[in-house]
């Protein structure tokens, strides 16, 4: 039986900001475009629908001062400097080995930075408004903008625009395989719709269908068996099953990004709301199920350190820890803003009572808190800036905001690492073209958003939504150039 078939110029897989940016740009370029989306219409948008969409921009036109330097410092592992040095030359002169290397190409990041501002201006023309609104971070190290209405505003603005110009959305439709011509070019995708119905979509393909945080098998394969203790930060992440990455790898795409890592954010496991983050922990201490501290809770501003701290939480037994504070938490202005959970604090009148409620060893727990309290030193507490109020003579130290936890009621919030998105993806050029393991472009295949890999080690905060918007747009522009040349 011949499967149902549709012909387009561009087929966009995924309806988050990366896919929508690609589709809108392709449509503006006069291309016939289709959008495939696994979720139903009311849940379209993947992770993008649920994020506040922080943008690492100091203005609508300028990225933050540390934008490119942060990526450069986290471009891979211990890279061969003789190979990295070759990237200072024109890309066409790079040997195939370098073009396919699993590291973040500097020209990709330069292109990212150069196109961030123009992309936001394009969105502004479509009706999106941006402001520098208060964030969940009470202390910060970089500049951020936000679209008013967050990621949901981006998704709905772009979707409504596309619906208005007649671009078809195929909801409940999951891409499974790429269609490859004898000359190696990608000419479409095979997908399944309702009741596992087979459908073929012909055209150049933009893979913008997220990472693999919603796929337990891939998480165990790449992250390891402890991935059991991770969960997507929001409902949209459960739709990200990794097919885009697998499809690309199946046709020889080069991998890029750290497949064994993810963007970690501390959340309250008791909560079922989107992103129930706990960012107030620098004003208390963190203890594990053995009742012990295990990390400097406040080495710098919270926005610069929370991912590293969350990875330490993930490494604890059961992948869980507890923020412990006392009544003095109320001294922190607007501290409630840093507690995104809808669950109340666990309260107790004494540390032993709190230990019993948390089911941690009371003797170890109280000893830990007593040792911490004894290590605190007099000083001026400045909750909204790095204050240097540190412990002395204790390991691990607490470098800022260290005050004794001694005033009841005593408070606790359980914390686990969420998986905001996975780092591993497909290697792309500055035009978002997917590169194969021999350093050559796979014609007709593009990747954007979480499906492309650029992150290693430490996430460059507030760049993921920008990545999707910018590279979705770049992919569509290049596809339009090829379409015009073909015509």
State pLDDT tens for residues 129-154: 999 988 899 998 887 999 999 999 99
Give tens-digit pLDDT for 44-93.
999 999 999 999 999 999 999 999 999 999 999 999 999 999 999 999 99
| Mean pLDDT value across residues 183-210 | 97
The pLDDT of residue 485: 81
What class has domain 4-261+423-486?
Answer: alpha beta
Give tens-digit pLDDT for 374-421.
999 999 999 999 999 999 999 999 999 999 999 999 999 999 999 999
Q: Per DSSP, which regions of 38-184 are E strands?
A: 130-131, 146-147, 169-171, 174-180
Q: Is the peptide bond before 409 cis (omega within 30 degrees of 0)?
A: yes
* pLDDT exceeds 90 at position 447: yes
Would you place residue 484 in the very low, low, confident or very high pLDDT band (cuts 50, 70, 90)? confident
State what percent of residues in the chain have pLDDT above 70: 100
Mean pLDDT, all residues of the chain: 96
| Mean pLDDT value across residues 417-429 | 98
Long-range contacts of 199-202 (CB under 8 A, 24+ apart): 199/3, 199/4, 199/5, 199/6, 199/170, 199/173, 200/3, 200/4, 200/5, 200/6, 201/5, 201/6, 201/8, 201/11, 201/34, 201/36, 201/170, 201/175, 202/5, 202/6, 202/7, 202/8, 202/11
The pLDDT of residue 1: 61
CATH match of 265-418 with 3.40.30.10: no
| The model scores a pTM over 0.75 | yes
> How many Å apart are CA 411 and CA 358, to the nearest integer?
11
């Amino acid at each position: 039986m011949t499967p149902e078939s549709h012909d387009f110029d561009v087929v966009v897989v995924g309806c988050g900001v990366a896919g929508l940016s690609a589709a809108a740009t392709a449509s503006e370029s006069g291309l016939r475009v289709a959008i495939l989306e696994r979720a139903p219409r009311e849940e379209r948008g993947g992770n993008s629908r649920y994020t506040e969409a922080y943008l690492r921009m100091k203005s609508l036109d300028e990225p933050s001062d540390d934008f490119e330097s942060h990526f450069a410092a986290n471009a891979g592992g211990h890279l061969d400097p003789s190979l990295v040095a070759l990237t200072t030359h024109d890309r066409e002169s790079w040997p195939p080995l370098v073009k396919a290397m699993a590291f973040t190409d500097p020209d990709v990041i330069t292109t990212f930075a150069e196109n961030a501002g123009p992309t936001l201006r394009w969105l502004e023309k479509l009706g999106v408004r941006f402001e520098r609104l208060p964030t969940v971070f009470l202390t910060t190290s970089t500049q951020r903008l936000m679209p008013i209405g967050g990621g949901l505003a981006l998704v709905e603005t772009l979707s409504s625009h596309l619906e208005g110009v007649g671009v078809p959305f195929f909801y409940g439709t999951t891409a499974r395989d790429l269609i490859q011509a004898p000359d190696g070019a990608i000419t479409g995708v095979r997908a399944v719709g309702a009741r596992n119905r087979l459908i073929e979509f012909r055209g150049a393909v933009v893979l913008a269908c997220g990472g693999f945080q919603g796929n337990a098998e891939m998480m165990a394969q790449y992250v390891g068996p402890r991935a059991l203790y991770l969960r997507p930060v929001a409902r949209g992440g459960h739709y990200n099953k990794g097919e885009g990455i697998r499809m690309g790898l199946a046709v020889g795409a080069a991998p890029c990004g750290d497949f064994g890592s993810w963007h970690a954010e501390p959340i309250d496991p008791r909560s079922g709301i989107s992103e129930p983050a706990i960012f107030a922990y620098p004003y208390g201490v963190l203890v594990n199920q053995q009742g012990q501290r295990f990390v400097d809770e406040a080495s710098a501003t919270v926005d610069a350190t929370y991912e590293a701290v969350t990875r330490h939480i993930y490494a604890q037994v059961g992948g869980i820890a507890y923020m412990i504070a006392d009544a003095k938490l109320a001294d922190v202005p607007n501290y409630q803003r840093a507690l995104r959970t809808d669950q109340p604090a666990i309260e107790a009148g004494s540390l032993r009572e709190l230990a019993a409620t948390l089911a941690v060893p009371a003797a170890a727990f109280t000893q830990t808190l007593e040792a911490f309290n004894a290590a605190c030193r007099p000083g001026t507490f400045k909750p909204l800036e790095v204050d240097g109020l540190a412990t002395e003579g204790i390991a691990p130290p607490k470098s800022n905001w260290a005050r004794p936890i001694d005033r009841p009621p005593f408070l606790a919030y359980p914390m686990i690492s969420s998986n905001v998105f996975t780092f591993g993806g497909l290697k792309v050029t500055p035009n978002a073209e997917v590169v194969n393991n021999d350093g050559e472009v796979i014609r007709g295949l593009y990747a954007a958003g979480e499906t492309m890999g650029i992150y290693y080690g430490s996430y460059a905060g507030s760049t993921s939504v920008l990545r999707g918007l910018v590279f979705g747009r770049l992919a569509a522009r290049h596809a339009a150039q090829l379409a015009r040349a073909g015509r």
